[in-house]
Amino acid sequence: MTHVIPLRPQIRVGISGTGFIGRGLLTAMQHQTGLTVYRILTRRPLDGLRGGPERELVTNSITELIAHSDVVVECSGDVAHATEVVSEALDAQLPVVTMNSEFHVTVGSWFANRGVLTEAAGDQPGALAELAEQAEQATAMGFRPLVYGNLKRFQDNRPSEQSMQYWAKRQGISIEQVTAFTTEQNCRSNRRLSPMQWERRWPCPACWG
């Protein structure tokens, strides 16, 4: 299925999510030409948003997001919510870009052949997929990739709360997010935190169940 974005002076971008990724994307979009954020979907109470995007851009309605978008970027970080947003966007024949790898590994295959759906190259899985594509082209030169990996600068196989606090401060994000962004092994090793500390962790698919 081929989707052609309508030719407009500005392509209307709808963002799903007002967290760390969504706010970062909004900031980056302010420096882009030809792309303008028209709506931002959030599940938070609208009157409780502070220091965020302009009030007139934010909505709690998926229908409103879709009606004012030529392309939707899903970066809520929530698989169930992303599934609903992506499903409705594809039903409306809008292309969807995600920054939500958990969405792809859990329900992504269900959306196969339903429309244009891709992971952003800037996100880790998308970047690795892009690298794999380039490597496949390089095989003509005799190279055969053996491993596609990623090394985070704050990776720590035996993290302490102090270590996570350091990287949270350095990256400008919460300790819960830093913990969730590490590998599954890292996340599970955080079970050594006290029960109160562990319950404060950011929800992470590696730790569910």
Reported as a single tens digit per residue, the pLDDT across 163-174 is 888 888 887 777
Phi, psi of 87 (to 5 degrees): -60, -45
**Domain coverage including residue 89:** 11-121
Residue 89 identity: A
8-12 average pLDDT score: 80
* pLDDT classification of 97: cutoffs 50, 70, 90: very high
116-135 average pLDDT score: 75
Count, residues in the chain = 209
Encoding tokens for residue 152? Answer: 């985070």
Structural domain includes residue 178: yes
Strands 71-74 and 11-16: parallel
Residues 32 and 115 in one domain: yes
Structural domain includes residue 192: yes
Structural domain includes residue 133: no
Residues 102 and 183 in one domain: no
112-123 average pLDDT score: 81
Rounded-to-integer distance, Cα 19 and Cα 76, Å: 7
* pLDDT classification of 67: cutoffs 50, 70, 90: very high
Global model pTM greater than 0.85:
no
Structural domain includes residue 37: yes
Question: Residue 18 belongs to a domain with what CATH number?
Answer: 3.40.50.720
Rounded-to-integer distance, Cα 16 and Cα 68, Å: 13
Number of independent structural domains in the chain: 2
Encoding tokens for residue 166? Answer: 């350091």
Higher pLDDT, 61 or 139: 61
Contacts of 73 (CB under 8 A, 6+ apart): 13, 14, 15, 16, 25, 96, 97, 98, 99, 120
- The pLDDT value given to residue 150: 62
Structural domain includes residue 130: no
